[in-house]
Structure 1
Amino acid sequence: MIAELNRLVEQIDAHLSGDLDIGAFAAGAGTTEYHLRRMFSTLTGMPLSEYVRRRRMTIAAADLTEADDLLSIAVRYGYGSTEAFGRAFRAVHGVRPADVRRDGGPLRTQPQIRFHLTVEGNTPMDTRIVDRPAFRLIGHAARVPLQHEGVNPHIQAHIAALPVSEHDRLKRMSTTEPPGLLQVSADVDPDYVEGSPLTYLHGVAVSADTEVPDDLDVIEVEGGTWAVFRAEGAYPSTLQTMWAATATDWFPSNPWNLRPGPSIVSVLERSPDFRAATCELWLPVERA
């Protein structure tokens, strides 16, 4: 995967004046666009689309020192008007193209990213591969913004609004793996953009033929393979660190790709104040 990501970065620079077909590139590299985008965003902390925009505007800034008219430069980098180009340019550099032509800057450069794999191997990951038939996730769902670090206040408020009796009721309805009360993230942006909306469901897993009460939301989950990662420690920091480690350590070293589907956290044990927990992270995968 590290080699494929470096080739992707090279292809992005080769296609700054046009559109690179990420899906076709992924297929040629023996992976999927979904997996490629998720690995890129997890490893770099920025969406692939944002990196492409920053690189385009970095190279476009150099063109502004030439005599070409602004519309020609805009079209060269895939924009249909000087207004659209100007908005993208200002979003990256914080100044207008005209300011750069007049004053020469200031400019914010996006260097070309290079990926390197550092092999340490001093933190074994407790992982198992599970094949599961189709099942249902049922519970209470809400649309919330994606947050990479810390406690998500929107999720926290959603859970806090549920009475204790409802938590107990959901626990009693759990009939299949993943076990217990679950924290489910679905419909996540493939680029994993901070603040982008996702569907969060607080609920449990039941068999595919279970009748669902009218007051509960349902996410249908297709049958397939799951990688299950176990983490124990401070919550949610240990869980979030393990999330990142799946991209930096596990996926580059194992013949599996992420596939579309919900990510699921099963809280197996927790301290009374929920500052520490033993969790399982379930990620849908397929053979690379």
Structure 2
Amino acid sequence: MDWLERMNRALDYIEENLDEEIEYKKLAQVASCSEYHFSRMFSSLVGMTLSEYIRRRRLTRAAFELQKSDLRILDIAVKYGYESADSFSRAFQKIHGIKPSEARNKGASLKAFPRTTFQISIKGEKEMDYRIEHIDYELRIVGNGKSVKTAKAFKTIPKLWSAAKKDGFTQQLIDMSWENPKCTLEGILGVCGSEAAIKDEEFTYFMGVRYDGEVPADMETITISPSTWAVFPNIVEAWKRLYVEWVPTSGYELANLPCIECYYGPKHKPRHELWVPVIP
């Protein structure tokens, strides 16, 4: 089963369970995809978070039911995952611009958000440089994590690094790094999702370095198991093209580990790289 078919099976699962609880773990399993990466891959392909897509599809279904059935508004609200008529009404009005009660009026104007289907259009306009790296030992990364809203990640993360530079945290990491180099992943690191799996709405961005020494009292430690990595120069461009262009046609699967942004020292070329965990 190829990548495209698996992703469309995940969309089938969503459609079949709009009036049930949708577990993201189960959704990733249906897609045969890493839990770490499914939500981010989905948002890159669709242009919105997974939770927002599910919300819009449910509210589209709810609008149809309001017009075609005599069910109470509260019953429809509960059916589509809302705990009260008030919370349902607020969400409904945000999408459709009118209250649920008004949706039953003849001539009421509503919005139908269509089901998405994944297709691949390979343009081949620009090549993607990458290499494969194998790290056969456990990576011990020391630093601190910050919660980041997924939808605002590209704006928030640069601000985190700017603040870290101002308060001396970046310099502290620099002083700890390169003491005992043992692989090419030597630099200031941004680990994208250090918890068991990246959540849809937010994730933990862990700022640190690979370090084998004594852990400072004000820092935490995460470990990453031995793995294979696809490495791309230019972090911003790599993020934009990774899930849309490289993954679908690469022949690799994404491993159930976080991606790592690596920022190197002066004179290093390239200045930064995106490390993506993969399996053949």
Structure 2 counterpart of 1:162, one-letter code? G
Match of 2:142 in 1: 138
Instruction: Name the SS of the counterpart of 2:243 in structure 1.
Output: helix
Alpha-carbon distance, 1:54 to partner? 0.5
* Alpha carbons 2:164, 2:170 under 8 Å: kept: no
Bigger strand fraction: 1
Structure 2 distance, partners of 1:68, 1:110, is 22
* Alpha carbons 1:144, 1:154 under 8 Å: kept: no
Question: Which one of 55, 73, 77 corresponds to residue 53 of structure 1?
Answer: 55
Instruction: Name the SS of the counterpart of 1:46 in structure 2.
Output: coil
Alpha-carbon distance, 1:86 to partner? 2.4
Match of 2:168 in 1: 162
Structure 2 distance, partners of 1:49, 1:117, is 23
Alpha-carbon distance, 1:172 to partner? 4.2
Q: 4+ residue runs of structure 1 moved beyond 6 angstroms?
A: none
1:71-220 equivalences in 2 (<5 Å): 71-102=74-105, 105-132=108-135, 133-146=137-150, 147-150=152-155, 152-162=158-168, 166=172, 168-173=174-179, 175-177=181-183, 178-187=185-194, 190-193=198-201, 196-201=202-207, 203-207=208-212, 210-220=213-223
Residue by residue, what CA displacement relative to the aligned partner does 1:183-240 show, whole Å, maximum 9, x if unpaired? 33333773553xx352331x32134xx4333344322222222221123xxxxxxx22
Output the TM-score relative to the length of structure 1: 0.78
Match of 1:236 in 2: none
Residue by residue, what CA displacement relative to the aligned partner does 1:227-267 show, whole Å, maximum 9, x if unpaired? 21123xxxxxxx22211211011111123333343322222
Shift of the 181–76 alpha-carbon distance from structure 1 to 2, 3 Å rule, reads closer
Shift of the 34–264 alpha-carbon distance from structure 1 to 2, 3 Å rule, reads closer
Q: Which consecutive residues of structure 1, in runs of 5 or more, have no partner in the other structure?
A: 232-238
Instruction: Name the SS of the counterpart of 1:280 in structure 2.
Output: strand
Alpha-carbon distance, 1:107 to partner? 3.1
Does residue 64 (structure 1) correspond to residue 51 (structure 2)? The answer is no
Shift of the 280–44 alpha-carbon distance from structure 1 to 2, 3 Å rule, reads same
Structure 2 distance, partners of 1:179, 1:33, is 26
Structure 1 distance, partners of 2:53, 2:263, is 35
Structure 2 distance, partners of 1:164, 1:249, is 33
* Alpha carbons 1:267, 1:277 under 8 Å: kept: no
Structure 2 counterpart of 1:76, one-letter code? K
Shift of the 205–43 alpha-carbon distance from structure 1 to 2, 3 Å rule, reads same
Residue by residue, what CA displacement relative to the aligned partner does 1:84-124 show, whole Å, maximum 9, x if unpaired? 43243234334321232347545333222122211123422
Aligned length: 271
* Alpha carbons 1:173, 1:204 under 8 Å: kept: no
Match of 1:39 in 2: 41
Shift of the 156–145 alpha-carbon distance from structure 1 to 2, 3 Å rule, reads farther
Percent same amino acid at aligned positions? Answer: 31
